[in-house]
Amino acid sequence: MVRRIFNFIHREINGLHEAAYLLGIFALLSQVLALARDRLLAYFFGAGAILDTYYTAFKIPDIIFVSTASIVSIYILIPFLTEKSSVSKSAERDFISVIFSAFFLLIVFVSAIAFVLTPQFVKIFFPGFIDSAYLNDLILFTRILLLQPIFLGISNLFASITQVHRKFILYALSPILYNLGIIAGIIFLYPIFGFIGLGIGVVFGAIFHLSIQLPFIIKGGFFPKIAIKMIVRKLNDIKKVIFLSLPRTLALSAHQISLLLLISLASVMTNGSIAVFSFSFNLQSVPLTIIGVSYSVAAFPTLVRLFSNGEKEYFLEQMLAAAKHIIFWSFPTVILFIVLRAQIVRVILGSGEFDWSDTRLTAASLALFVVSLAAQGLVLLFARGYYATGNTKKPLIFNVIAAILAVIFSFILIKLFAANDTFRYFIEVLLRVENIEGTSVLMLPLGYSIAMFLNAIALWLALQRDFNSFSQTLSRTFFQSISSSIIMGFVAYGFLTIFKGLFNINTFWGIFSQGLFAGIVGIAVGVFMLIILGNKEVVEVWKSLHSKFWKADVIAPEQE
């Protein structure tokens, strides 16, 4: 048994789709635990002031993490580690110690400053908490979470080492352990320490994220040392790493800052607005991770190899193949999530303090987020396509502009929603949230999705200009997928009504069965339509599922 696991870890990639599906399975396991975590939070607290405080406390530590831990990003360090390991093991160890020392000093320094200035940051960025009874809790919670970037950053560094030495499973398991730590905090630490116990659980999760990789790091002799003198001698290596990581750092930071500002807008809305926004964002992240992240990460190594070898025609083919499958999977997922949104939210979150109004509002927010699922997935792929060519400037510019536009659009829509009764009535009736308090929060996912659409279109047009006929070859897949998905949606919606009379939808199993069977019937009709239309992607999926894709090597994406 042990030998089989060892062989599994060292298998090579068999193909784009096989690697993407296997990566999707690991992502799915992590996301299932994340959903269990959210269900527990919803059960104990509902969409109210406590969870507003909880989710807000993550924002400043998250920005610190992406702005500093990107220095030890696996995408940046793996080429350096590969080069050093080819020279000698001592050269690799020295490089690890230098990068670890520089990162550790930087992250501790930045976190210490943030710790001191947390009260000022909270009052500036989250004005809705200034007069809140939870202001002091938010400050303390944020300070506790400042430990998280340190542990996760070190874990990122160790992940680069484990992947260079082909220990892929270790890092694939780390986000699972991270969520287990948070769940343990909710179940065991909250009853003992109260609200602060939730923060301690998050820190434990980050420690678990790191600790799973420690045995190999120690056994392999790669555990780094604080080497201040070596930093001076190896300053050129540090400069190279920082220079290469800078575009990625700016892009990730821009996205996190935009989310922080969206939370800032939500902080002055009705209690529970931040929780609704965060719950729906987390839910839409599940299909995005399984589809968009999986394909973009699985395609990246091949794209780098093809472009570096001058095989631009095959490079384009690989990009197109990944883009087609992102579209192929995204459109039916979008339609199903929109049609079954209430069932999805009620099954995953609907318990305890999370009432029917919370469900309807979160479901509406989810629909507005998920409508841009294909766009978000394509942005991830197109950005990595440009990274593979060595062009980091173009996706950086587009992503920063999109992050700015997400905030601007949301702000304008909030003003329009408040000033225009016709627009507000249209949105509320369309999403079935009339007579519910706090519907203005829906303008945040709407503004975000519009920005993601524009980002995808901009990158698409840029690729069309750089690689001729790129868009034209996607049109057939686009038409077939959207056509079958619309028909699938109508069928699923119709069977929701039919199954409503067969199941007691006031119970968990009743509403679960209603959504499940309506979705299955809709999917069956959608697949049948794709076969009639002669869709090539459905044939490729069928072949991949019969090629033992679970034997493909695991490519673990960086946890951001």
Q: Helices (H), strands (E): how many in the chain?
A: 26, 0
Nearest by Cα to 476 from 488, 484, 487: 484
- CA pair distance 132, 303, nearest whole angstrom: 50
Question: Could you tell me the CA-to-CA distances from 107 to 66, 70, 121, 146, 152 in Å, in that order?
Answer: 11, 11, 18, 10, 11
pLDDT at 394 over 80: yes
Encode pLDDT of 140-166 as tens digits.
Answer: 999 999 999 999 989 988 887 877 676
Report pLDDT for 11. 45
- Determine the average pLDDT of the residues in 300-324: 81
Give the model's confidence band at 13: pLDDT under 50 very low, under 70 low, under 90 confident, else very high. Answer: very low
Q: Choose among 263, 276, 444: nearest CA to 358.
A: 276
Measured distance CA(330)–CA(322) in Å, rounded: 12
Q: Both tokens of residue 100?
A: 């670890």
Determine how many CB atoms are found less than 10 A away from the CB of residue 411: 16
Mean pLDDT confidence for 540-547: 65
Question: Phi/psi class of residue 270: alpha, beta or left (left: φ > 0; alpha: ψ in -120 to 50)?
Answer: beta
Q: To the nearest whole number, what is the mean pLDDT of the chain? A: 86
Question: What local confidence, expressed as pLDDT, does residue 429 receive?
Answer: 96
- The end-to-end CA distance of the chain, in Å, is 33
Long-range CB pairs of 24-31 (<8 Å, 24+ gap) are 24/290, 24/291, 24/294, 25/550, 26/172, 26/554, 26/556, 27/289, 27/290, 27/293, 27/294, 27/557, 28/286, 28/290, 29/176, 30/175, 30/176, 30/179, 30/289, 31/285, 31/286, 31/289, 31/290
CB-based contact 181:207 (threshold 8 Å): yes
* 11, 113, 407, 434 from 428: Cα distances, Å: 51, 43, 21, 5
In terms of Cα–Cα distance, which of 510, 558, 545, 381 is closest to 455? 381
Structure token digits, residue 538: 């459905």
Q: State the Cα–Cα distance between residues 16 and 143, nearest whole angstrom.
A: 42
pLDDT in tens, 477-531: 888 889 999 999 999 999 999 998 888 888 888 999 999 999 999 999 999 998 8
Beta-strand runs (E) in 101-215: none
- The residue among 159 and 19 whose pLDDT is bigger is 159
The DSSP-derived string for 25-76 is HHHHHHHHHHHHHHHHHHHHH-SSHHHHHHHHTTHHHHHHHHHHGGGG-HHH
396 vs 546, higher pLDDT: 396
What percentage of the chain has pLDDT greater than the value 90?
Answer: 52
Which of residues 369 and 548 earns the better pLDDT score?
Answer: 369
304-309-313 Cα angle (round to 5): 85
Ordered DSSP codes for 223-289: -----HHHHHHTHHHHHHHHHHHHHHHHHHHHHHHHHHHHHHHHHTSSTTHHHHHHHHHHHHHHHII
Q: Which of 137, 374, 156, 145 is nearest to 248 (CA)?
A: 156
Is 555's pLDDT higher than 50? no
**pLDDT per position as a tens digit, 57-116:** 999 999 999 888 777 676 677 677 777 777 787 888 888 888 888 889 999 999 999 999
pLDDT of residue 185: 95
Q: Given this model, what pLDDT does residue 387 score?
A: 81
Q: Which residue has the higher pLDDT, 40 or 95?
A: 40
Give the helix, strand, coil percentages of the chain, each rounded to 5.
Answer: 85, 0, 15
Q: Burial-class residue 401 by CB neighbours within 10 Å (0-12, 13-18, 19+).
A: middle
Q: Using one digit for the tens of pLDDT, what is the confidence trace for 358-385? A: 999 999 999 999 999 999 999 999 988 8
Q: Tokens 């790669």 — which residue?
A: 222
pTM of the model: 0.88
Separation of alpha carbons 12 and 56, rounded Å: 41
The pair of structure tokens assigned to 275 is 């929780």
Contact 133, 46 (CB under 8 A): no
- Tell me the pLDDT tens digit for each residue of 458-492: 998 898 888 765 555 677 788 888 999 999 999 99
- In this structure, are residues 98 and 238 in contact, taking their beta carbons and an 8 Å threshold? yes
* Residue in the structure block whose two tokens are 């930093």: 231
Cβ atoms within 10 Å of 119's Cβ, excluding its own: 14
Whole-number pLDDT of residue 2: 44
User: What is the model's pLDDT at position 94?
Assistant: 83
Residue 282 has pLDDT above 70, yes or no: yes
